DNA sequence: ACCTCCCGCCAATGT
DNA sequence: ACATTGGCGGGAGGT
């Protein structure tokens, strides 16, 4: 029975598809050689010319290709089918990629089968959001309701369900246990939106966010996957669910790794592999994951990552920008378009001056050119670069009238978007969204 | 032998 | 009823 799966694994893609993949890879300006799609020689010989290698199918590589394919000025909405076809993978895999990209703000779901490319510029805000939420949860403060909008970032604390598990196996529950969400139980909880969100509680997107939260709030910037799994899961370690959780974390780690959010390292002592958050020191990854030391200047192993720590240096005064928040607007068509257009314009604007001068910051997409630091005026952008400065560097560019106009819409879109899941606690948007946006205006 | 983690079945959701 | 999404874990590749 199960053999069918095994058999199917090999063929998987028709020669035509393979060709397409190659084409994409080649077409991409400069994919760092570390994850060249086509062939991974893997220094160990043993791979016959025709050999099938899972490395060629890794989520990380797929993510790199995905980014390389869509991280450009003219991308508009992304169709899942199209993506799958062009990348030569089954649809299922696209969901994996898209889910984590969305949870870190690089994409937004626009509609069924449709996503909008936000780009790396959307990351700072998403992470800030995440961190805030994480800290809030940590301090036991109200969990910020939030929900839905395709957007990511939904609350949830140490999702722990299914602790107990007493006695032997009995995996009885499974799809039973209405369980709703234990989280979100503040006094006078306005509304329990459970609705059997049970499924969502385990979504890859949520898990991704929780994983990232770990880095954003931990004192150390390194963690092994099973430590993470242990944390993310209650301590009610159900050896079984633990294994599954770790599997998922591997998936996530691989794509985050390909985005350079994190990288795999060898824990100094225990030899145990672990992942390190590359907060503000994005450096091109090397060959095959495992970083070759060369920590950027000022980077020390146990040095606590202070990413986004200074998110408070942003003034809270929200200038005019009347807060009418007209309607809800789910950031569907119109909203998304505005957003997209704005992004395109901005990038265009920024890019025109010095080609390749656009800085992605620490999370420099692996597919982007790496000599983008050549513009001397910025100085050494590498180590100093962090999202805050990235945001700051944007400001001067927006003095342009037309852009300013565009931004008004942009702001509007974000406002309504955020108000959507900030319903109830509008303070959130004042604390984060507004300040950030104000910076731009 | 253990670590990684791809693959695709099939249930939950959405239209 | 059909189409999308995507949890899940078997089990094979990698080391």
| pLDDT tens over chain A, length 441 residues | 333 333 333 333 333 333 344 444 433 333 333 344 333 333 333 333 456 788 889 999 999 999 999 998 888 789 999 999 999 999 999 999 999 999 999 999 999 999 999 999 999 999 998 998 888 877 766 555 544 443 333 344 443 433 333 333 333 333 233 333 333 333 333 344 444 577 888 899 999 999 999 999 888 889 999 889 988 887 767 888 899 999 999 999 999 999 999 999 988 777 789 999 986 344 333 333 333 333 333 233 322 333 332 222 222 222 222 222 222 233 333 333 333 333 333 333 333 322 222 333 333 444 333 333 233 333 333 323 344 444 333 332 223 333 333 333 333 334 334 333 333 332 232 223 223 322 332
A191 CB-to-strand C distance under 7 Å: no
A262 beta partners: A277
List Cα–Cα distances, A48 to A9, A41, A142, A217, A289, in angstroms.
17, 10, 57, 45, 23
Other beta carbons less than 10 A from residue A338's beta carbon:
21
Instruction: Give the list of residues 6+ apart from residue A34 with CB closer than 8 angstroms, or none.
Output: A284, A285, A286, A287, A288, A366
What radius of gyration do chain A's Cα atoms show? 22
Q: Which residue is nearest to nucleotide B8 (CA to C1')?
A: A5
Query: For A204 and C7, how far is CA from C1' in angstroms?
Result: 9
Query: For A251 and C1, how far is CA from C1' in angstroms?
Result: 34
A253 CB-to-strand B distance under 7 Å: yes
A30 CB-to-strand C distance under 7 Å: no
Q: Where are the domains of chain A?
A: 12-44+51-119, 122-161+200-300, 333-440
Residues A208 and A104 sit within 8 Å (Cβ to Cβ): yes
Q: Domain spanning A12-44+51-119 has what CATH number?
A: 1.10.10.10
Q: What secondary structure, in 3-state letters, does A196-213 show?
A: CHHHHHHCHHHHHHHHHH
Instruction: Give the list of residues 6+ apart from residue A115 with CB closer than 8 angstroms, or none.
Output: A77, A78, A80, A98, A102, A107, A108, A109
């Amino acid at each position: 029975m199960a053999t069918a799966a095994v058999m199917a694994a090999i063929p998987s893609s028709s020669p035509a598809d393979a060709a397409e993949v190659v084409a994409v890879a080649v077409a991409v300006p400069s994919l760092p050689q570390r994850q060249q799609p086509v062939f991974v020689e893997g220094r160990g010989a043993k791979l016959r010319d025709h050999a099938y290698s899972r490395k060629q199918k890794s989520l990380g590589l797929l993510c790199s290709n995905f980014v390389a394919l869509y991280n450009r000025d003219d991308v508009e909405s992304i169709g899942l089918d199209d993506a799958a076809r062009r990348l030569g993978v089954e649809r299922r895999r696209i969901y994996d990629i898209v889910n984590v990209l969305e949870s870190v703000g690089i994409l937004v779901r626009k509609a069924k089968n449709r996503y909008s490319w936000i780009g790396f510029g959307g990351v700072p805000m998403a992470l800030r959001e995440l961190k805030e939420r994480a800290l809030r949860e940590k301090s036991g403060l109200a969990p910020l309701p939030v929900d839905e909008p395709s957007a990511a970032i939904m609350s949830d604390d140490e999702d722990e369900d299914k602790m107990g598990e007493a006695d032997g196996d009995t995996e009885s529950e499974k799809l039973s246990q209405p369980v709703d969400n234990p989280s979100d139980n503040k006094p006078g909880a306005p509304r329990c939106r459970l609705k059997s969100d049970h499924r969502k509680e385990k979504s890859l997107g949520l898990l991704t966010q929780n994983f990232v939260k770990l880095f954003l709030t931990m004192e150390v910037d390194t963690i092994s996957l099973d430590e993470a799994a242990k944390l993310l899961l209650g301590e009610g370690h159900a050896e079984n669910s633990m294994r599954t959780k770790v599997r998922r974390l591997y998936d996530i780690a691989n794509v985050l790794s390909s985005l350079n959010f994190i990288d795999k390292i060898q824990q100094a002592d225990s030899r145990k592999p672990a992942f390190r958050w590359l907060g503000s020191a994005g450096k091109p990854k090397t060959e095959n994951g495992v970083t070759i030391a060369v920590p950027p200047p000022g980077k020390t192993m146990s040095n606590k990552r202070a990413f986004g720590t200074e998110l408070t240096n942003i003034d809270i005064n929200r200038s005019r920008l009347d807060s009418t928040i007209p309607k809800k607007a789910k950031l569907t068509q119109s909203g998304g378009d505005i957003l997209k257009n704005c992004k395109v314009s901005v990038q265009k604007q920024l890019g025109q001056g010095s080609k390749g001068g656009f800085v992605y910051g620490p999370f420099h997409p692996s597919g982007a050119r790496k000599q983008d630091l050549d513009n001397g005026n910025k100085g050494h952008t590498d180590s100093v670069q962090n999202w805050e400065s990235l945001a700051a560097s944007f400001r001067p560019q927006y003095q342009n009238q037309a852009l300013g106009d565009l931004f008004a819409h942009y702001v509007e879109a974000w406002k309504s978007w955020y108000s959507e899941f900030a319903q109830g606690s509008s303070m959130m948007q004042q604390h984060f969204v507004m300040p950030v946006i104000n910076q731009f205006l």
